[in-house]
Amino acid sequence: MSIFSKKTLLLLRIKRTEIFSLYSQVSKCRQTNTYFFLYSMSLKKQHILVIIQDIHYSEVAIRHAFSLAKFFKSEVAFGYYPSKKNQDLLPAKNFIEKNNLYAIPYQLMILKNHKSEPNHCIQELDAIFIVTQFRRESLSYFPKNHSIFKWIFDAKIPSIIVTEHTKVDYDYKNIIVPINYKKESKEKMIWASYFGRFNNALIHIIAPNEKYEAYLRTIKATLLFTKKMFEQFSFEYKTVKASCQSKNINREAITYSKSLDSALIVLISNRDPGWIASYCGPSELKCILKKEENPILFINPLKDYYLPCD
């Protein structure tokens, strides 16, 4: 069963959205200052897109991609991030085969260094997520060019980011969603819900302890939005009240995740990350990847996303 019912994608520009259901018809959604489009797609199979940076540091990304494909009933596409060094994927075929434990159909492809990428490839593949693996040693605290971050920021789908220290076998049964006083937190809920719906994961919402009334109102609105959307489905979720404020909520969420198995941390970028973060990577994200083992679901706010609609 495809995660896209009626062979349709819901292309959603998220601003201030109250969604009573993403489960069946678009008519079940109430719009408030947002734009909804139905984007008719051809009858193609959906994919997990794996962008390989170094085949010697790619085993975790490959295994995770096949696990995600199993959950979401999709296929996998592999390609090298384009660089000056010409890298042929054919020698990597045996390595990919060895890690394909579920006999998931996959393809090898050439990714071009073009301004239309990665979104041209994403649209051609009907890609659901990007998966890529960083080598910890390459993630410097000082500005260092990682041009793949430009692709991650430009992509119209989120990226799942791992390192060589992330567990190879992962079932994504615990999804950790730290929220703050910003409205963009609602976008995290939409993407987290797919893991609940299609993988029966438990969603853990980590809410901050704020003092200002304006912040409290936004957090309350996010939680109400979440309740209305999540209760349309049959998966479990829980809200955990943190002791910290929004500025430390990501660290609190990571600490909370240490008591759980197979926990995915959902993070969202700044609305305007700036030039340095776009090419060198956000400092907080790199710090987490260097110290922690969890995979990160990294979302870009306020863009036209291709959202799978059941």
DSSP per position, 251-310: HHHHHHHTTSSSEEEEEE--SS-HHHHHHH--HHHHHHHHH--S-EEEE-SSSEEEEE--
Report how far apart, in Å, the C-alpha atoms of 130 and of each of 23, 40, 77, 181, 228 are: 23, 21, 10, 27, 28
Give CA–CA dist 251/55, Å, rounded.
31
Rounded to the nearest angstrom, the gap between the alpha carbon of residue 234 and the centroid of all alpha carbons in its chain is 21
Determine the residue type at 139.
Answer: L
Rounded CA separation 186/189 (Å): 5
pLDDT tens, 229-264? Answer: 999 998 999 999 999 999 999 999 999 999 999 899
The radius of gyration of the chain's CA atoms, rounded to the nearest angstrom, is: 19
State yes or no: pLDDT of 13 exceeds 90.
no
Give 39's pLDDT tier (boundaries 50, 70, 90). very low
Q: How far, CA to CA in Å, does 71 sit from each of 45, 65, 156, 201, 262? A: 14, 10, 21, 11, 14
What whole-number distance in Å separates Cα of residue 199 and Cα of residue 173?
7
Residue 280 above 90 pLDDT? no
More confident residue, 44 or 251: 251
Minimum mean pLDDT range among 35-44, 89-98, 115-124: 35-44
pLDDT reading at 81 higher than 60: yes
Query: Distance of alpha carbon 285 from its chain centroid, rounded?
Result: 13
Q: Reduced to 3 states, what is the DSSP secondary structure of residue 166?
A: coil
**Which tokens go with 235?**
């998966």
- 113 vs 172, residue with greater confidence: 172
Binned at pLDDT 50, 70 and 90, residue 303 comes out as low
More confident residue, 118 or 24: 118
pLDDT score of 12 more than 60: no
Q: Going by DSSP bridges, is the β-strand pair 75-80/30-31 parallel, antiparallel, or unpaired?
A: unpaired
Which pLDDT band holds residue 42 (cuts at 50, 70, 90)? very low
Per-residue confidence (pLDDT) for residue 24, from 0 to 100: 36
What is the spatial distance between Cα 280 and Cα 259, in angstroms, rounded to a whole number? 31
pLDDT digits (tens, 9 = 90+) for 208-235: 999 999 999 999 999 999 999 999 998 9
CA atoms within 13 A on the CB side of 300: 24
pLDDT at 47 exceeding the cut of 70: yes
pLDDT at 71: 95
* Per-residue model confidence as pLDDT tens digits over 91-101: 788 889 999 99
- Residue 84's pLDDT is 57
Beta bridge partners of 12: 36, 305
Output the pTM of the full model.
Answer: 0.83
Per-residue DSSP letters for 109-125?
Answer: -PPP--TTTTHHHHHHH
Least confident range from 19-33, 83-97, 296-310: namely 19-33
pLDDT range class, residue 113, cuts 50, 70, 90: confident
Identify the pLDDT of residue 284.
87
* In contact, 51 and 79? CB cutoff 8 Å: yes
Host H or E run for residue 35: strand 35-40
Q: What are phi and psi of 16, to 5 degrees?
A: -120, 100
Q: What is the pLDDT of residue 83?
A: 73
Q: 87 in helix, strand or coil?
A: coil
Q: What pLDDT was estimated at residue 138?
A: 83
List b or e across 147-186, with b for residues whose CB sees 16 or more CB atoms inside 10 angstroms: ebbbbbbbbbbbbbbbbbebeeebebebbbbbbbbbbbbb
The pLDDT value given to residue 85: 64
